[in-house]
Amino acid sequence: MSISSLVKDLRDKRISSEEILDTYFKKAYIENKELNCFISISEEYTRKKLANSKIESELSFIPGVIKDNINVKGTISTAGSKVLENYRSPYTATVVKNLGNFALIGKGNMDSFAFGSSTENSGFGVTKNPLDKNKVPGGSSGGVAAAVASDLVLFGIGTDTGGSVRQPAAFCGLVGLKPTYGLCSRFGLIAMGSSFDVPGIITKNVTDCSIVLNSIAGFDSNDSTSIKVAKKDYTKFPKLDNVKVGVMKFPQDGVSREVLDSFDSSIDTLKKMNVELIDIDFKYINYSLAVYYILVPAEISSNMSRYDGIRFGDHPKGGYSSISDFYKDARDKFEDEVKRRIMIGTYTLSQGYFDAYYNKATQVRNLIKMEFSDVFKDIDFLISPTTPTLPFDIGKKINDPLEMYLSDIFTVTANLIGYPAISIPNKKFGNLYSGLQIFGRPFEEDRLLSLSYLIESKLWR
Ligand code: GLN
């Protein structure tokens, strides 16, 4: 079932909005026991919100999941962390408001505060990949991807700071879009790395993705980095002429045979589509992951300082002899990866290391940005794999943070430079899929979706 087909059924009265809610909530309770893709199921909230609602948009009554680090007033938003186990936001994120009267089925499980690539860092248990329950669904928006892949919802909104929408989409055989930084409001997203974070979309196909982007994109004065751009109808895929697609050259060690094969076969597919392919050998891109894992923890360490047990997080109980004991107790609840990132970030920002790490990484980030804008003078799109491997086994990388970080090698660059990037299913291996990542020019999501749609049609129809 896709968004467009359910909308049609709803408008032609083959199904009623009550039937949608009954069916989808019933399924959610049953499947969530096994998959653990929702941290909470939002039945009470949604039935109340949709009582007396009418069809007013393409997403009216359409079941969706919102990642649990996106605030929805009237629900709990944990950001996947025990620290926010009982946190009720006093306001709703702009992207959620923009979705209108969709049916929120549940809040998606995630790595705590979105730090991770497998959803194993969640304070609320791991989510299973519905395509193979021994595998991770990817992360950090693993719950969102698992819910879409198992048909518990028709779309999901996640956040993407270094790949958290594209990578789980790839691991669950779905479409995942990270829009240009500034196109969709960050207001109401629980911050991770503020100069990297964007809300993103996970759907089963490119058309559904464009329907959701239509509703969430737009300027928001509540987000100081939101950018005013002319409104587009993303469902009208523009015609693409004389398309030039860059093919990213990358070191092959650490990239699995399946991924290399499927990337090669997507190049063959593009060749048959009459697009011009140009090999691109980037000078600085090999530094992306290192730069990301310096700058993001730095921003994290600053963003996490608000969880002091006073403004956010439960007040620790008991008599304290000092304020530092109070803080220590409040912050002891942080999951291991959260502590690790705060420590790395604090280290790279501290006196003596600031220039060597933070400043240096900022400079390299700028070089990567400049190199991209140069390269994009000659190409319209760029392709790479989304992930270096197919979904890995639950437990396989959790005790090896560096190994885990390496799974983000292809996705972090788009966040460093703010460009839009999408992952679409590339090739099937048993029940699992590899993903193809396509970068577009900033604010050209319409063209990016158009090319993605063409490739999707060639590969899967
Ligand atoms: N996996 C990456 C990280 O752990 C990306 C996370 C994200 O995009 N939220 O930093």
Tell me: the pLDDT tens digits for 416-433?
999 999 999 999 999 999
Q: What pLDDT digit, counting tens, does each position of 129-166 carry?
A: 999 999 999 999 999 999 999 999 999 999 999 999 99
Q: Is 259 helix (H, G, I), strand (E, B) or coil?
A: helix
Q: Please tell me the predicted confidence (pLDDT) of residue 452.
A: 98
Residue nearest to atom 10 of ligand 1 (CA): 115
Could you tell me the strand order of the sheet in which 244-248 lies?
38-41, 103-108, 63-67, 155-160, 198-203, 175-178, 421-429, 432-439, 381-385, 244-248, 276-280
How many A from CA of 324 to the centre of ligand 1? 30
- In the predicted structure, residue 319 carries a pLDDT above the cut 90: no
What end-to-end distance do the CA atoms of the chain give, in Å? Answer: 16
Q: Where exactly are the structural domains of the chain?
A: 3-238+421-460
When pLDDT is averaged across residues 221-226 and rounded to a whole number, the result is 98
* pTM confidence score: 0.98
Q: Please tell me the predicted confidence (pLDDT) of residue 274.
A: 87
CATH class label, 3-238+421-460: alpha beta
Please give the Cα distance from 124 to 259 (Å, whole number).
Answer: 31
How many A from CA of 160 to the centre of ligand 1? 7
Q: What pLDDT digit, counting tens, does each position of 400-412 carry?
A: 999 999 999 999 9
- In the predicted structure, residue 361 carries a pLDDT above the cut 90: yes
Q: Please tell me the predicted confidence (pLDDT) of residue 15.
A: 97
What is the band of 2 on the pLDDT scale with cuts at 50, 70, 90?
very high
Catalytic-residue membership of 67: yes
For residues 180 and 216, is the Cβ–Cβ distance under 8 A?
no
Tokens matching residue 299: 């921003």
Specify the ligand 1 atom closest to the Cα of 293.
10
Q: Please tell me the predicted confidence (pLDDT) of residue 298.
A: 98
Choose the residue to mutate in 81, 121, 164 for probing ligand 1, maximizing ligand atoms within 8 Å of C-beta: 164
- In the predicted structure, residue 71 carries a pLDDT above the cut 80: yes
Specify the ligand 1 atom closest to the Cα of 407.
1
Please give the Cα distance from 376 to 441 (Å, whole number).
Answer: 7
How many A from CA of 93 to the centre of ligand 1? 20
How many A from CA of 113 to the centre of ligand 1? 9
Specify the ligand 1 atom closest to the Cα of 415.
8
What is the band of 89 on the pLDDT scale with cuts at 50, 70, 90?
very high
**Average pLDDT over the chain, rounded to an integer:** 96
Choose the residue to mutate in 70, 140, 300, 413 for probing ligand 1, maximizing ligand atoms within 8 Å of C-beta: 140
Q: Please tell me the predicted confidence (pLDDT) of residue 54.
A: 95
- In the predicted structure, residue 26 carries a pLDDT above the cut 90: yes
- Check 67, 82, 107, 128 and give the catalytic one: 67
- Locus of tokens 């899967």: 460
For residues 208 and 2, is the Cβ–Cβ distance under 8 A?
yes
Q: What pLDDT digit, counting tens, does each position of 246-261 carry?
A: 999 999 999 999 999 9
Catalytic-residue membership of 384: no
Choose the residue to mutate in 190, 293, 296, 386 for probing ligand 1, maximizing ligand atoms within 8 Å of C-beta: 296
Specify the ligand 1 atom closest to the Cα of 337.
4
Half-sphere exposure of 446 (CA within 13 A, CB side): 14
For residues 114 and 146, is the Cβ–Cβ distance under 8 A?
no
Using alpha carbons, select from 155, 106, 104 the residue that is nearest to residue 2. Answer: 155
How many A from CA of 356 to the centre of ligand 1? 23
Tokens matching residue 430: 């048993």
**Ligand 1 cavity residues, CB under 6 Å:** 114-117, 140, 159-164, 192, 296, 408
How many A from CA of 412 to the centre of ligand 1? 8
Choose the residue to mutate in 110, 189, 408, 409 for probing ligand 1, maximizing ligand atoms within 8 Å of C-beta: 408
Q: DSSP state, 373? A: H
Q: Is 429 helix (H, G, I), strand (E, B) or coil?
A: strand
Q: DSSP state, 391? A: P
Q: What pLDDT digit, counting tens, does each position of 258-312 carry?
A: 999 999 999 999 999 989 999 999 999 999 999 999 999 999 999 999 998 888 8
Specify the ligand 1 atom closest to the Cα of 117.
1
* For helices 17-35 and 142-149, angle between their N-to-C axes, nearest 10 degrees: 120
- Check 77, 118, 150, 164 and give the catalytic one: 164
How many A from CA of 168 to the centre of ligand 1? 11
Specify the ligand 1 atom closest to the Cα of 160.
8
What is the band of 316 on the pLDDT scale with cuts at 50, 70, 90?
confident
- In the predicted structure, residue 98 carries a pLDDT above the cut 80: yes
- Check 42, 112, 140, 215 and give the catalytic one: 140
When pLDDT is averaged across residues 212-224 and rounded to a whole number, the result is 98
412 Cβ contact partners less than 8 Å away, ≥ 6 residues apart: 162, 163, 288, 289, 292
- In the predicted structure, residue 35 carries a pLDDT above the cut 80: yes
358 Cβ contact partners less than 8 Å away, ≥ 6 residues apart: 294, 295, 298, 348, 349
How many A from CA of 320 to the centre of ligand 1? 35
Using alpha carbons, select from 244, 237, 180, 276 the residue that is nearest to residue 447. Answer: 237
Q: Please tell me the predicted confidence (pLDDT) of residue 308.
A: 87
Please give the Cα distance from 308 to 425 (Å, whole number).
Answer: 42
DSSP string, 58-110: TTTT-EEEEETTB--TTSB--TT-GGGTT-B-SS--HHHHHT-S-EEEEEEP-
Residue nearest to atom 5 of ligand 1 (CA): 162
Catalytic-residue membership of 350: no
DSSP string, 324-371: HHHHHHHHTTS-HHHHHHHHHHHHHHSTTTIIIIIIHHHHHHHHHHHH
* Torsional sign, CA 306, 308, 309, 310: negative
